[in-house]
Amino acid sequence: GLHYFNPAVLMPTVEVIRSAHTSEETMEAAFGFCVKCGKKPVRVNKDVPGFIVNRVQAPGAVLLRCILDAGVIPPEAVDAVMRGLGMPMGPFEVMDYTGLDVNVNAANYFAETVHPDYAPGRVLLELVAAGHLGKKTGRGIFDWSGGRPKIDLSLNAEGFSPVDLAAVAANEAAKLIEMGVADAETIDRAVVGGMGFAIGPIAAVQGFGPADLAARLENLAAVHGREIFQPCDTIRAGGYKTA
């Protein structure tokens, strides 16, 4: 199968997914078709939920929902920190922009197909039940009634580190490597091209040693009670290191 990214006319990356019955000839034909269309195809060697890009991003969404449910760190502060790193939109604003109902549906899908830890959080479910779906209804995590919410970029999100988002993404990427879905270079290329990020999940954690990265993930798993944050074998062994 072919998985394009929105907006398809602008985003260059296309995931080319091999199913259990896909021949190499078909994979090569699909790859060639994407190239002829001016796209940059990436090979997904196994058909897993979320393929590469959405699968790597899914644990970060769980972490954000945990933060939202805990109610200690304001979503405005998290978005301020992430925008300070160069993101055009913070992650909570992105949730509102895409639609909280869409986020709930995605969470339910991953909860059913990957692990119950992916289930949507309490706050998201309450907002959706109340009809507050984000930008399209004028209210969600933020108030959109007057247009795009104004985020005070000077806010400090004490207790939140962008490294945590990078860590859970890298951990999931390492799991994909273990499953034979793709190698590190392909995963990074897919995420950069599919999400528009400056750097991929594996490249993002090259500065962290295995012990430090594993300890950070273990702490996240303990604090938030999420098994999916536990470091996989590749992280513990330093197999994510490219040099």
Q: State whether the Cα torsion 82-210-116-188 is positive or negative.
A: positive
CB-based contacts of 55, cutoff 8 Å, min separation 6: 48, 49, 114, 172, 176
H helix or E strand, kind and range, residue 13: strand 13-17
Most distant CA pair in the chain, distance: 54
Calpha distance 52→42 (Å, rounded): 9
- Report d(CA 108, CA 118) in Å as an integer: 7
What is the token pair recorded at 63?
A: 């972490």
- Has 3 been annotated as catalytic? yes
Which backbone phi and psi does 87 adopt, to 5 degrees? -70, 135
Query: Which uninterrupted H or E stretch holds 222?
Result: helix 210-224
> Counting beta carbons within 10 angstroms of the beta carbon of residue 68, is it exposed (0 to 12), middle (13 to 18) or buried (19 or more)?
buried
What is the Cα–Cα distance from 131 to 174, expressed in whole angstroms? 37
CA proximity to 170, closest of 242, 69, 100 = 242
Give the residue numbers annotated as catalytic, written as ranges. Answer: 3
